[in-house]
Structure 1
Amino acid sequence: MEWPLSLLGAALVAFMLREVFHTLWHPTRHGGLSRLVMTTLWRLSGHLSGRRRAAGLSGPLGMVCVVSIWALAIAVGWALVYWPHMPEAFTYSTGLEPSAHAGPVDALYVSLVTLTTLGLGDIAPATGWLRILAPLEALVGFALLSATVTWTLGLYPALARRRTLALRLSHLRRTHATTEALDSDAGVAVLAGVATELCVVSIDFLQYPESYYFYDADDRASLAEQIGYAAELAQRAAKARHPDVGLAADALDAALDDLAIILDERFLHTGAGRRDVLDAYAAEHSIKAGARR
């Protein structure tokens, strides 16, 4: 039973490292496990009383759950590698009876101590290949910690960019911009700026898909609430006579198309046109829709 258990542990570690890779370092995909955890918490939040509060917690709580599962599964995987070889392949500090500290809990203890780079040394590998494997686990633990910090530091600026765009659209909505007002050089700048920010948000949804499951409690900073106005701006500007306004309107229209494609392919899966996709996005995230549920 020694090598089957060790191989099972190695397979579990490899699977979880694959999940980490696809979630954190492969910008066009994210791991199946992280997607399952985030979507499950998001769906559950829609069925709880006090949906606003539950939805607001679903994104941060989902990240905590994903990282915890990664760490625990990797620790268990390495424990399965160590356990079949205890106590013969390990050295024990004075006062510890090897035969009394060779169970699965002890293997998990060794794995957790190594993964967290504590290195207490009361139980340490003595066999050559295990002496090489243990530092590799410590290296994985250090890399996992660093990657998690990097993930968090990248995700929250992406949320800030999305909310900034939503707030800008909210400000524009309150100006009641007409076709005549947009038919100017200032209108070109406004439309081009919105189109550029939409492109940035689209890339953020690709690189940080977990950001989709973060709920924006303020409707002024909620892209779901404000995205419809971007489409209205493009429609109004399309009637302008200024040639540069028309070009900027086309660019904004294309940016909205790209955003709708990303939202539908990655999250909504409606197979519908742009307007229906944006409506579905608004229905999932809208403050007003959330209040009615």
Structure 2
Amino acid sequence: MEWLVSLTGAGLVMAALRDLFHTLWHPTRRGGLSRLIMSGLWRASQRVPARKRVAGLVGPLAMVTVVVMWACTIILGWAIIYWPHMPEAFSFGSGLKPAQHADLLDALYVSLVTIATLGLGDIVPTEDWLRIVAPLEALLGFALLTATVTWVLEIYPALARRRVLAIRLALLRRADPSAHQMDGPLGASLLESVATEVVRVRVDFTQYAEAYYFHDDQNHAPLASSVGYAAELAQRGQAAARPDVRLAATILAGALEALATVLDEQFLHTGGTPVEVFAAYEADHGRSLS
């Protein structure tokens, strides 16, 4: 029975590690529990009356919540591993009575002290296998901290690339290039560069799906409100006389279609055309905050 309880704790630890791996390091970057938490907070924020004021907090709060979930699951799992073997498999410092420190709370204390690498030494394992397992928890705590910092450092460059594209499209819409300007070398270069940035954003949504749950600043042209103009540029370019402009416009149209596919498959689930997907994206991010 003791080993069955310990195996249950090990299962919790493995579940947290699996979710962490799929969220941060798996090629698809699709964590199960972490995605549920993020999407749940996103949907909950849409029901808040003052959503515009809390919108910017959803993404950071979702990441913090996921990290806390990982940490709590790992701490609880390791505590359940220790619990059945207390107090006989542990050595207690002077002033502590082993019979009074054998419940789950004490196991949680040992787990928390170990994962935080505090090394207080008042309760330490004496069984050989526990003396090996306990340092592994400390290493895991260090790995969790490192993974969290890496996650934060990865997500914000992706958000910056998205915002750069959004602002560029907003500036292009304001400049409103003429048909003559589009049907020239400048038009081909412009469409090709926009297509490159769209591809980067599409890759970011694939590799960093949590970026979807970050709101852009509504005062500086969010991508959800400006991506439709990129589709308009592609349509205008495909009607140009120059073959290089038409080619660049076709590439841009393909990049936008790929972006719409990622948005729909991972987040929106409309099953519609790219135009309908971008409209749903704007409703989810842009007009809903107006």
Question: 1:48-89: per-residue Cα shift (whole Å, max 9, x none)?
Answer: 111112222111111111000100010000000001001110
Match of 1:102 in 2: 102
Question: 1:176-225: per-residue Cα shift (whole Å, max 9, x none)?
Answer: 11222111111111111110000000010011100001111324341001
Uncovered stretches (5+) of structure 2, i.e. residues with no partner: none
User: SS at the partner of 1:240?
Assistant: coil
Match of 2:202 in 1: 202
Residues 249/219 of structure 1: CA separation in 2 closer, same or farther (3 Å cut): farther
Match of 1:11 in 2: 11
CA drift at 1:113? 0.9
Give distance in 2, aligned partners of 1:285 and 1:145. Answer: 31
Letter in 1 for 2:270: T
Q: 1:1-293 alignment to 2 at 5 Å?
A: 1-286=1-286, 288-291=287-290
User: SS at the partner of 1:34?
Assistant: helix
Letter in 2 for 1:211: A
Identity score, percent? 59
Letter in 2 for 1:197: E
| Equivalent residues, number | 290
CA drift at 1:247? 0.9
Letter in 1 for 2:121: G
CA drift at 1:99? 1.2
| Structure 1 runs, 4 residues or longer, greater than 3 Å off | none
Give distance in 2, aligned partners of 1:43 and 1:27. Answer: 26
Give distance in 1, aligned partners of 2:208 and 2:105. Answer: 36
Greater shift, 176-185 or 229-238, is seen at: 176-185
Q: Are 1:178 and 1:236, in contact at CA under 8 Å, matched by a contact in 2?
A: no
Q: Are 1:164 and 1:221, in contact at CA under 8 Å, matched by a contact in 2?
A: no
Q: Are 1:180 and 1:240, in contact at CA under 8 Å, matched by a contact in 2?
A: no
Give distance in 2, aligned partners of 1:179 and 1:142. Answer: 58
CA drift at 1:31? 1.1
User: SS at the partner of 2:240?
Assistant: coil
Q: Are 1:215 and 1:285, in contact at CA under 8 Å, matched by a contact in 2?
A: yes
Letter in 2 for 1:278: F
Under a length normalisation based on structure 1, what TM-score does the superposition of the two structures give?
0.97
CA drift at 1:254? 0.4
**RMSD of equivalent CA atoms:** 1.0
Q: Are 1:45 and 1:58, in contact at CA under 8 Å, matched by a contact in 2?
A: yes
Q: Are 1:220 and 1:226, in contact at CA under 8 Å, matched by a contact in 2?
A: no
Q: Are 1:6 and 1:81, in contact at CA under 8 Å, matched by a contact in 2?
A: yes
Give distance in 1, aligned partners of 2:181 and 2:93. Answer: 80
Letter in 1 for 2:46: G
Q: Are 2:29 and 2:208, in contact at CA under 8 Å, matched by a contact in 1?
A: no
Give distance in 1, aligned partners of 2:289 and 2:152. Answer: 26
Letter in 2 for 1:102: A
Letter in 2 for 1:75: I
Give distance in 2, aligned partners of 1:281 and 1:27. Answer: 24
User: SS at the partner of 1:220?
Assistant: coil
Greater shift, 202-211 or 218-227, is seen at: 218-227
Q: Are 1:20 and 1:70, in contact at CA under 8 Å, matched by a contact in 2?
A: yes
Give distance in 1, aligned partners of 2:53 and 2:193. Answer: 33
Give distance in 1, aligned partners of 2:85 and 2:167. Answer: 59
Give distance in 1, aligned partners of 2:169 and 2:129. Answer: 60
Residues 108/147 of structure 1: CA separation in 2 closer, same or farther (3 Å cut): same
Give distance in 1, aligned partners of 2:237 and 2:289. Answer: 31
Greater shift, 197-206 or 110-119, is seen at: 110-119
